[in-house]
Amino acid sequence: MDTSWAVITGASAGLGVAFAEHLARGGANVLLAARRGDLLEEQAARLRSRHGVQAATRAVDLASASSRADFVDEVRSLQVHTLVNNAGFGSVGRFHELEADRVAREVSLDVGALTELSHAVAGPMIHRGRGAIINVASTAAFQPMPEMAVYAAAKGYVLQFTIALWEELHDTGVRAVAICPGPTHTDFFANAGDDGVLAQRRSPEQVVATTFAALERHQPFVVDGMRNRALAFANRFAPRSVQARVAKRVLRHS
Ligand SMILES: NC(=O)c1ccc[n+]([C@@H]2O[C@H](COP(=O)([O-])OP(=O)(O)OC[C@H]3O[C@@H](n4cnc5c(N)ncnc54)[C@H](OP(=O)(O)O)[C@@H]3O)[C@@H](O)[C@H]2O)c1
């Protein structure tokens, strides 16, 4: 019996559901994590019956270092061939007006949990000479974003961290890739506090297809979609102050 696993965080909704579906369709046993255990159970049951794989669930608050500690230890002890660090959230609004606790949880989930879980699997993957770490960044990673300041900075971390990891993992047989989706049809913007921004959106399935194509090509990062790619690279040579001003306009008017 296959005793290896793909671990997908944030698998109760949105992109995580599409990542889990793709991996299970390819025959992977999946371990699904998020807070809403009932939704995870529904996903797991669907994946078991549709693809005949093992599907386990863990209801865990990954934004809390103490709550996620046991899960991180469990992941460290499993044979994980693919880790998808997908759980994350953003906050739309002026920084000083956001709840302090929300800001702390955002950094802890988008940066802390992703880093700890990457650390938990990287050593064992190198030891086995294979594996993949998929970190979900964002096109927000490419410039400072007023009114999504913490989110863009956190995703900037995810992008830089993953590219550095990709280089460290070179020649080990282990791959790392940062996927940078632009606006995508999920609950993300409703959960971020403003579903009215960035209305042109792609599908989760498109994002997942882009991710695995990039992994296949051994790319360190990839931007999903032509339009997003163009926008992400358009302001590359502009001063950061100009990038920030443009990003603010795009957030409110696209
Ligand atoms: N949608 C976009 O436009 C977009 C664009 C660029 C990047 N992204 C990134 O894509 C990733 C997935 O987001 P999405 O678009 O699929 O949004 P979503 O529909 O809101 O899904 C977010 C997922 O993360 C989980 N999650 C949130 N807080 C959590 C916590 N404290 N502990 C454990 N799990 C938690 C949620 O599950 P529970 O609520 O059940 O915990 C859910 O499964 C995120 O990293 C996001 O930053 C999204």
Active-site residue, 157 included: no
Residues 6+ apart with CB under 8 A from 217: none
> What CA–CA distances, in Å, run from 217 to 12, 106, 121, 177, 186?
28, 31, 21, 10, 27
Estimate the crossing angle of helix 65-77 against helix 114-128, to 10 degrees.
10
202 backbone dihedrals φ, ψ, rounded to 5° = -100, 175
Ligand 1 atom, smallest distance to 136 CA:
45
Give the tokens for residue 16.
Answer: 């995580």
Per-residue pLDDT of the chain (254 residues; tens, 9 = 90+): 788 999 999 999 999 999 999 999 999 999 999 999 999 999 999 999 999 999 999 999 999 999 999 999 999 999 999 999 999 999 999 999 999 999 999 999 999 999 999 999 999 999 999 999 999 999 999 999 999 999 999 999 999 999 999 999 999 999 999 999 999 999 998 999 877 777 778 999 999 999 999 999 999 999 999 999 998 988 888 999 999 998 888 887 65
5, 142, 151, 221: the catalytic one is: 151
Q: Are strands 221-223 and 174-180 parallel, antiparallel or unpaired?
A: parallel
Position of tokens 């994946």? 47
Taking the CA atoms of residue 89, residue 76, residue 33 and residue 103 in that order, the dihedral angle to the nearest 10 degrees is -20
Give the tokens for residue 101.
Answer: 């606790």
Q: Which of 7, 15, 41, 210 to mutate to test the pocket of ligand 1 (most atoms within 8 A of CB)?
A: 15
Q: From CA 188, how far away is CA 195, in angstroms rounded?
A: 8
> What CATH code is carried by the domain that includes residue 42?
3.40.50.720
Q: From CA 197, how far away is CA 21, in angstroms rounded?
A: 28
Instruction: State which residues form the domain around 23.
Output: 4-253
Cα of 237 from ligand 1 centre, angstroms: 30
Ligand 1 atom, smallest distance to 198 CA:
3
Residues 158 and 210 sit within 8 Å (Cβ to Cβ): no
Beta-ladder partners of 32: 8, 57
Closest CA to 89 of 20, 8, 34: 34
The helix/strand/coil state of 248 is: helix
Q: Establish whether residue 199 lines the binding site of ligand 1, counting it when its CB lies within 6 angstroms of any ligand atom.
A: no
Distance linking the first and last C-alpha atoms of the chain: 50
Q: From CA 143, how far away is CA 218, in angstroms rounded?
A: 24
What is the number of domains present in the chain? 1
Residues 118 and 126 sit within 8 Å (Cβ to Cβ): no
